[in-house]
Copies of this chain bind each other. A is one copy, B any other.
């Protein structure tokens, strides 16, 4: 019993440490860029001994890769409950798109890592990250296809181009927001982006 409790406590502590490291990494990657952030920096920020990082992550590369995965997971957690099953495609698209803006708005350091470091960097060519990004993008593509089939969006709209516009627009708007010191409401801006694109996608 005692040892069981101890084990649980240990596991609990382990999970916490892991999160500490991951969150310190997210923050620092966003601030200084991935390559300019050393494990020593991360250890210091996470208040964990440097070599303990290796108890949780195989190496720096593994840690770097886990940052987007971790956040995609959180983003899904946030999005899922909001999606009304059976709602129409455009509505679902809007929810997914806007939830992402909200997530960034609440976790600007992740926004920074993702839009300023991970997505644009060659790391996206890394299979694990690419898969997560692709999966996310694919969702957009499918919903856009549905909207086309439903006659809401133009027949001649290329769903991949449309998805690129949504993702690219989000990326640019976020990057500007971050680079200029988050001076305005990102979610509002997100709405404008959605509306403008939606207008361009609509059946005439």
| Chain A residues engaging chain B, CB cutoff 8 angstroms | 31-36, 115-117, 119-122, 124-125, 130, 157-158, 161-162, 164-165, 167-173, 175-176, 179, 189, 192-193, 196-201
Report whether B33 and A175 are in contact in the complex, using a CB–CB cutoff of 8 Å.
Answer: no
Query: Main SS of the interface on chain A?
Result: helix
**Roughly how many angstroms separate A140 CA and B158 CA in the complex, as a whole number?**
24
Given B34, B117, B124, B172, which contacts A167 in the complex, CB threshold below 8 Å? B172
Report whether A172 and B168 are in contact in the complex, using a CB–CB cutoff of 8 Å.
Answer: yes
Closest beta carbon of chain B to A27's beta carbon, Å: 13
Q: Which residue of B lies closest to A181 (CB)?
A: B125
**Roughly how many angstroms separate A79 CA and B200 CA in the complex, as a whole number?**
27
Given B31, B35, B161, B193, which contacts A173 in the complex, CB threshold below 8 Å? B161
Further 6 A-B residue pairs, CB within 8 A, beyond A161-B173, A168-B168? A32-B122, A35-B35, A164-B169, A164-B173, A165-B165, A168-B173
- Knowing A158-B192, A169-B169 are in contact, say whether A120-B115 is a contact too (CB < 8 A): yes
Residues of B near A167 (CB, < 8 A) are 168, 172
Number of copies: 4
Given B121, B161, B164, B192, which contacts A117 in the complex, CB threshold below 8 Å? B121
Q: Which residue of B lies closest to A160 (CB)?
A: B176
**Roughly how many angstroms separate A158 CA and B169 CA in the complex, as a whole number?**
13
Q: Which residue of B lies closest to A161 (CB)?
A: B192
Residues of B near A122 (CB, < 8 A) are 31-33, 116, 179
Closest beta carbon of chain B to A201's beta carbon, Å: 7
Given B120, B130, B169, B193, which contacts A120 in the complex, CB threshold below 8 Å? B120
Closest beta carbon of chain B to A140's beta carbon, Å: 11
27 contacts between A and B (CB under 8 A): A35-B36, A115-B120, A116-B124, A117-B121, A120-B171, A120-B172, A122-B179, A124-B179, A130-B179, A158-B196, A161-B189, A161-B192, A161-B193, A164-B173, A165-B165, A165-B168, A165-B172, A165-B197, A167-B168, A167-B172, A168-B168, A168-B171, A171-B171, A196-B200, A197-B200, A199-B200, A200-B201
